[in-house]
């Protein structure tokens, strides 16, 4: 992705992590397009690990005046966006000290034998807060279900992200509307707004 003119000199680094089927790739496209609409140069990358069988899907977005390579080095991410609790912990080493974690408060236990853990880690939030400057926890799945479609959870997470990411609010909804199927635009926008509302409430 690219834009005709870039604003701001600093490169902002995001790592987005979830499991297959959660919509993290689409979410990455929306974040990238929002940054483009805001006038930034943008690069993205995707890595799929057994995504069709519940494995990790991790993507990256870098934007600014000169974002360079599409991958985010360990310890350099300004934001970790985790669509599942364990993925937030798994990719915490990519977060710079004092960075921000946006966490979907949902646990998905692996169903593939080779991916199963002896036990799902406890105290994930405490471990995140020990390293991050801000941890924004969002009950995205519950909010999406209340709207009527649990598949909108990733859009709820993006709404929460929009509150802490320095991009104009108007570009977000344009990016959402342009990325999702036409017949799902209104439910996605509702999900996005619910996530933003919840995040604002959490930060007060």
Number of domains present in the structure of the chain: 1
Percent of the chain at pLDDT > 90 equals 70
pLDDT for residue 115 is more than 50: no
The domain of 171 spans 12-110+122-203
User: What pLDDT does residue 111 have?
Assistant: 58
Percent of the chain at pLDDT > 70 equals 87
Per-residue pLDDT of 42-86, as tens digits, reads 999 987 554 455 578 899 999 997 888 889 999 999 999 999 999
pLDDT for residue 175 is more than 70: yes
pLDDT for residue 153 is more than 90: yes
1 assigned to some structural domain: no
139 assigned to some structural domain: yes
163 assigned to some structural domain: yes
116 assigned to some structural domain: no
> Across the chain, what does the average pLDDT equal?
87
179 assigned to some structural domain: yes
CATH of the domain at 40: 3.40.920.10
pLDDT for residue 5 is more than 50: no
SS3 letters across the chain: CCCCCCCCCCCEEEEEEEECCCCHHHHHHHHHHHHHHCCCEEEEEEEECCHHHCCEEEEEEEEECCCCCCCCCCCCEEEEEECCHHHHHHCHHHEEEEEEEEEECCCCCCCCHHHCCCCCCCCHHHHHHCCCCEEEEECHHHHHHHHCCHHHHHHHHHHHHHHHCCCCHHHHHHHHHHHCCHHHHHHHHHHHHHHHHHHHHHHC
19 assigned to some structural domain: yes
Average pLDDT over residues 5-19: 77
5 assigned to some structural domain: no
147 assigned to some structural domain: yes
């Amino acid at each position: 992705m690219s834009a005709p003119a870039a604003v701001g000199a600093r490169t902002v680094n995001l790592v987005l992590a979830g499991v297959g089927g959660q919509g993290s790739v689409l979410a990455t496209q929306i974040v990238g397009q929002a940054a483009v609409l805001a006038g930034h140069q943008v690069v993205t990358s995707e890595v799929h690990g057994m995504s069709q069988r519940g494995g990790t899907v991790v993507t990256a977005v870098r934007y600014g005046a000169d974002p360079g390579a599409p991958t985010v080095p360990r310890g350099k991410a300004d934001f970790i966006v985790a669509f599942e609790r364990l993925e937030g912990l798994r990719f915490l080493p990519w977060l710079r000290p004092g960075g921000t974690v946006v966490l979907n408060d949902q646990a998905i236990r692996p169903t593939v034998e080779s991916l199963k853990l002896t036990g799902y880690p406890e105290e994930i939030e405490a471990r995140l807060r020990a390293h991050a400057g801000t941890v924004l926890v969002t009950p995205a799945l519950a909010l999406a279900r209340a709207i009527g479609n649990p598949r909108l959870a990733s859009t709820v997470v993006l709404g929460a992200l929009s509150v802490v990411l320095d991009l104009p609010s108007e570009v977000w909804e344009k990016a959402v509307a342009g990325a999702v199927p036409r017949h799902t635009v209104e439910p996605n926008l509702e999900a996005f707004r619910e996530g933003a509302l919840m995040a604002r409430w959490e930060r007060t």
